[in-house]
Structure formats: C-alpha cells, structure tokens
Amino acid sequence: MMLPRKMFLDDMFDSFLESDVPKMKCDIYEADGNYNLELDMPGFTKDDINIEFNKGTLTISAEKKDEKEEKDDKKYIRRERFYGSVSRSFYLGDIEEENIKAEFKDGTLKVTAPKKAENISKKVINID
C-alpha cells in the first residue's frame, strides 16, 4: 500500500507559513533628493502593472489573469501559480508628480519620485 503524497496537515502548515496572496516585497530609500522604490514583481509584465499618484499617495497595483485554453486537457495535481491582483500604497507626501519615473526590468519595478524643494524661507511675524 502506497502512502499518499500529501499528508492530512500539510495544507494547514502551508497556509500557516506562507500567505495565499503574494506580496510585492519592496525597498524604499532616499537618495539625491528622490524617494526610490524597488519592488519585486516576478511573473508580471510591464502591461500588468498600474502606477497612480493621488494626494501624496503612490499606489502600485498589478493583475495577472488566468490564461486557460478552452482545450485544456491537463489534470492538475497542484496549482501554485498566482492569478489575481495585488496592490500596495505608499504615502510619499509632497513630491514633483510630473517627474515620477518608473522602469520595469527582470521582474523588478523601480520608481523614482523627486521630492519638492522645501521652502526654507523664514518670516518673523510681529505681534500687534
């Protein structure tokens, strides 16, 4: 008698150790007057990704659609590839939104957002 390939509690431990929804892991750093974001997005293409900036918040979302063929004769034992959407938002504050740049290469999205120059002028206000 052969033992089953998966034991009863395997799925419980799989979901405990890792989430079903993939996360866009990212690094954010400041350099040369810019906020720089680098996000790992394996499995997505440039066309799957949408970037929006609204009221100081940068939102990055991506959607991967299930591309099933109608004549799919495959009998899957396990499917782990992700199909669906993911999204992350980052509050960046006051930046030069017209100069935000993005580049997608080798599964990594790089976004550069130039910070607005701070108003350093100081005004003394007299009290009447």
- Top pLDDT among 47 and 66 is at 47
pLDDT category, 77, cuts 50, 70, 90? confident
Structure tokens at 105: 């290469």
| Of 108, 82, 103, the residue nearest 21 (C-alpha) | 82
Q: Using CA atoms, how far apart are residues 87 and 126, in angstroms rounded to an integer? A: 49
Alpha-carbon distance 18 to 38, whole Å?
A: 22
pTM exceeds cut of 0.85: no
pLDDT in tens, 3-26: 455 544 455 545 444 455 557 899
* Domains along the chain with CATH numbers: 20-66+81-114 (2.60.40.790)
Q: 67 burial class (0-12, 13-18, 19+ CB within 10 angstroms)?
A: exposed
